[in-house]
Amino acid sequence: MIVLNTMPLRSQCLALTALFICLSCAGLSGCGPTGHTTISDPSAQATGFDWAIPTRYPLPVEPLDNPMTEAKFQLGRHLFYDPRLSGNGSQSCSSCHIQALGFSDGRTLPLGSTGEVLARNAQGLMNAAYNATQTWANPSVLTLEQQALIPLFSEAPVEHGITDSNRESVLQRIRDEPRYPALFSQAFPDLGDAIEFASIRNALTSFVRGMVSFNSPFDRFEQGERNTMSASAHRGRQLFFGEALECFHCHGGYHLSDSTRDRSMTFVDKPFHNTGLFNIAGNGDYPDDNQGIFEISADPSDMGKFRAPSLRNVAVTAPYMHDGSMASLSEVIDFYAAGGRVIAEGEHAGDGRMNPFKSGFVTGFEITDGQKADLIAFLESLTDESFLSNPRFSNPWEE
Amino acid sequence: MLVATFLTACSGSGGDSSDNLVTRDISIPFVAEASNLTIDCDTRLTGLGTAPSDADLLDFRFYVHDMVLTDEAGTRYTTTFEQNTWQRDDLALVDLANKADSCSGDVKDTHSEVTGTVRVPAGTVLSGLEFTLGVPSALNHADRATAEAPLDRAGMHWNWQNGYKFVRVDVAPVGGMSRPTDAGYSATAWNFHLGSTDCTGDPQLGETVVCGRSNRPVVSLENFDPDLDAVLFDYEQLIGANDLSVDEAAAPGCMSGATDPECAAIFTALGMDVSTGAVDNTITQTVFRVQ
């Protein structure tokens, strides 16, 4: 475990945790050596799905009423890429979640099926199954099953635009596609040939839950391979996991986010952070349509708090921040180095560095141009090229 | 009525040893008015709020549950709802919008009479009505993708709050809405969405959902004769303290935000404490009255 010698304390703990889980999984699968320790873990339910990830990582949680199967994953893949799953037939999940971009969309803000601009940047989806909460800032939305209903049925803004009036015609479009009856009956054998939104939702979430991968150069280094990362990326890795920059406090652990849930956990934190992007009129405010979990809790101290996204594939998921307001990783690093963002004029004017609700880890730091290049090289080493082109996650209608 | 009879027959345990109980059919009408105009999709409402504003209806729906009738002595008699596409268990959806698609679509059914039965001693004079606005917690957080009527209406689903809109009353003020602090602001709908907020927990993971703010008003009406009277929802009483041509901050109208300036007076009108989401026993709701 060379990893243990090179990683900072917190990461070491997580590496040890992963090792622990590894032993646990071996015991459950029954194929490990005899006489080893077995660990009672009721949440580690048997899974009939080949997650295709190294055993050192814990598996994501599967909902009790929607266990993973390959048939659901494959049906969900067809639905994910199917624009018939929208009110006007123009938009699929893949309209705003593009595989080559880590399933983000490259836009500052995404557009709904009727042209409305959404308030928040489209996020990458790889390893979303490990998020403790889904979407940018919602402690009420814990599972992909809860999340998926939001884009399908949202009215304000309209995303897929499915409503009470058009839902039957949307379902009929799906039922009329010759490939679907067999896919549905394989995915949901108990339901016969019924095609309803509950099974559509459960298949979509199975596809997204199955989008897991740990195969970036950084991951392969952590798994013991040498020469996967450049010398510059290694220097950047040490900066990233160091106390001077504090990046890892919110973007640490195997998920590169402190918002992490997996089936080894008995207690799950649901963290959100204000990073000092705004401080309108000096009272801590964020723009009116985009105030983080304050919108859910109405707790003044929750103003501007958003979930820290995983940083895997971050180099291909620009632009950045919940509002897509930063175009490049260089701009993001400058922002954190400054300890927040100053907006000199306009309706959002204010010194974000002084936001009273800002995370204690966003205090600013000194960084040279060379160090910044190293940090970017590290962030680029988090790109999982195999995932971005893996045919398992590609558009099945183009096959 | 077959359904109601069947249910009554099954609910014998309510009953009691006394053999003079009788089962009475009930049909509680709900009507909605604003400034003496009956609310429907075809009527332009006038004189609303402090501006005052004119507005066209977009939606007018709400869930009620826990409906109880009382007699002069204050004895409470639980009602049993007829089971149909608008009523399930002790929950009913009242829908007074007579057209689909925010009043712009086809003519559709409304549901203005909550029907069922109540078992009372023979000769009882019923004189009061009480009900709770909203969806009970156990139903509020069940999987909406598999929910059955009347919980299957996507327009009442409040997915981002992991539950239902208990009340959805939306209007389009003529001339739209502006925001004093933002010259670029524009909105077309003054919405009122009531529902539980600040909820967490996932039943699909075996957890119980708990909400920071329940937001379920209790309506208690005296001098209500269930054979003669209707329940009047007075929209002007709900929004009268607001200016419908303006949205000062947060969601357009009031979407149950505890700090949304448009919500404070609305919650007071519903007898609620906006900061806690609990019924405020020091005030009485003014939105519903006997007609």
pLDDT of residue A289: 86
- Quick check: A49 contacting B, CB < 8 Å? no
DSSP-assigned states of every residue in A281-347: TTTTB--TT--BTHHHH--GGGTTBBPPPP-TTGGGS-SBSTT--B-SHHHHHHHHHHTS-EE-SST
Chain B, 92 to 151: residues with Cβ < 8 Å from chain A are: 100-101, 105, 143-146
Chain A, 261 to 290: residues with Cβ < 8 Å from chain B are: 270, 288
Q: Say if the Cβ atoms of A164 and B154 lie within 8 Å.
A: yes
B155 vs chain A: nearest CA distance in angstroms?
7
Site from B137, B162, B275 to mutate, A interface, most A CB atoms within 10 angstroms: B162
Q: Which is it for strands B182-187 and B177-179: parallel, antiparallel or unpaired? A: antiparallel
At B30, which helix (H) or strand (E)? Answer: strand B21-34
- CA distance to A145, A164, A269, per residue, from A207 (Å): 11, 25, 25
- Check whether A32 has a pLDDT greater than 90: no
- Check whether A36 has a pLDDT greater than 60: no
CB atoms within 10 A of CB A237: 24
Contacts of A150 (CB under 8 A, 6+ apart): A135, A141, A159, B159, B160
pLDDT of residue B212: 96
pLDDT of residue B182: 86
CA–CA–CA angle B29, B31, B33 (5° rounding): 165
Residue B217 preceded by cis peptide, ω within 30 = no
Q: Which residues of B touch A202 (CB under 8 A)?
A: 145
A56-60, B4-8, B196-200, range with the lowest pLDDT: B4-8
Q: How far apart are CA A149 and CA B20, in angstroms?
A: 51
Place of tokens 């996204």: A309
Contacts of B199 (CB under 8 A, 6+ apart): A140, B141, B161, B162, B163, B209, B210, B211, B212
Q: Are A313 and A329 contacting, i.e. CB atoms less than 8 angstroms apart?
A: no
A278-287, B4-13, B136-145, B231-240, range with the lowest pLDDT: B4-13
Mean pLDDT over all residues of chain A?
A: 89
Q: Which residues of A touch B197 (CB under 8 A)?
A: 296, 298
- When pLDDT is averaged across residues A87-92 and rounded to a whole number, the result is 98
Q: How far apart are CA B107 and CA B129, in angstroms?
A: 31
Q: How far apart are CA A11 and CA A221, in angstroms?
A: 14
A28-37, A47-56, A330-339, A388-397, range with the lowest pLDDT: A28-37
A323-337, B200-214, B215-229, range with the lowest pLDDT: B200-214
Q: How far apart are CA A142 and CA B199, in angstroms?
A: 11
For residue A350 the two structure tokens come to: 């204010």
pTM for this predicted structure: 0.88
Helix, strand and coil content of chain A, in percent to the nearest 5, comes to 40, 5, 55
Site from B204, B267, B275 to mutate, A interface, most A CB atoms within 10 angstroms: B204
- By Cβ distance, the residue of B105, B145, B258 closest to A298 is B258
Rg (C-alpha) for chain A, rounded Å, is 22
- When pLDDT is averaged across residues B235-253 and rounded to a whole number, the result is 96
Contacts of B184 (CB under 8 A, 6+ apart): none
Burial of A39 (0-12, 13-18, 19+ CB in 10 A): middle
- CA distance to A34, A48, A54, B273, per residue, from A29 (Å): 12, 11, 14, 54
Chosen CATH of A70-211 out of 1.20.1250.20, 3.40.50.300, 1.10.760.10, 1.10.10.10: 1.10.760.10
A43-57, B184-198, B220-234, range with the lowest pLDDT: A43-57
Calculate the CA dihedral of residues A136, A137, A139, A142 and round it to 10 degrees. Answer: -10
Q: Which is it for strands B197-200 and B21-34: parallel, antiparallel or unpaired? A: unpaired
- By Cβ distance, the residue of A61, A165, A296 closest to B197 is A296
**Percent over 90 (pLDDT), chain A:** 84
- Quick check: B249 contacting A, CB < 8 Å? yes
Interface confidence, given as ipTM, is 0.87
For residue B142 the two structure tokens come to: 């069940």
Q: Are A274 and A305 contacting, i.e. CB atoms less than 8 angstroms apart?
A: yes
- By Cβ distance, the residue of B145, B198, B204 closest to A298 is B198
SS3 label, residue B187: strand
β-strand partners of A310 = none
Q: Which of A146, A92, A192 is nearest to B145 (CA)?
A: A146
Q: Which of B289, B286, B171, B291 is nearest to B237 (CA)?
A: B286
Q: Are A233 and A240 contacting, i.e. CB atoms less than 8 angstroms apart?
A: no
Q: How far apart are CA B46 and CA B24, in angstroms?
A: 40
β-strand partners of A111 = A117
What is residue A355's DSSP assignment?
A: -
Does the CA dihedral B279-B283-B287-B291 come out positive or negative?
positive
Residue A300 preceded by cis peptide, ω within 30 = no
- Quick check: A346 contacting B, CB < 8 Å? no
Q: Are A95 and A395 contacting, i.e. CB atoms less than 8 angstroms apart?
A: no
Q: How far apart are CA A206 and CA A76, in angstroms?
A: 6
- When pLDDT is averaged across residues B235-240 and rounded to a whole number, the result is 98
Q: Which of A313, A395, A70, A104 is nearest to A210 (CA)?
A: A70
Q: Which of A215, A221, A217 is nearest to A11 (CA)?
A: A221
For A396, phi and psi rounded to 5 degrees? -75, -15
- Quick check: B201 contacting A, CB < 8 Å? yes
Burial of A283 (0-12, 13-18, 19+ CB in 10 A): exposed
Q: How far apart are CA B161 and CA A139, in angstroms?
A: 9
Q: How far apart are CA A259 and CA A95, in angstroms?
A: 26
Place of tokens 């927990």: B201
Q: Are B254 and B262 contacting, i.e. CB atoms less than 8 angstroms apart?
A: yes
Q: Would you put residue B135 in left (φ > 0), alpha (ψ -120 to 50) or beta?
A: beta
Q: How far apart are CA A95 and CA A76, in angstroms?
A: 15
Q: Which residues of A touch B192 (CB under 8 A)?
A: none
pLDDT tens column, B57-112: 999 999 999 999 999 999 999 999 999 999 999 999 999 999 999 999 999 999 99
pLDDT tens column, A187-206: 999 998 899 999 999 999 99
Greater confidence, A21 or B119? B119
**A30: amino acid identity, one letter:** G
**B111: amino acid identity, one letter:** H
Q: How far apart are CA A219 and CA B79, in angstroms?
A: 62
- When pLDDT is averaged across residues A59-64 and rounded to a whole number, the result is 92
Q: Which of A263, A268, A252, A362 is nearest to A311 (CA)?
A: A252
Greater confidence, A5 or A175? A175
Greater confidence, B4 or A393? A393
**A369: amino acid identity, one letter:** D
User: Residue B203's pLDDT band (boundaries 50, 70, 90)?
Assistant: low
Place of tokens 């105030």: A291
- When pLDDT is averaged across residues A275-280 and rounded to a whole number, the result is 98
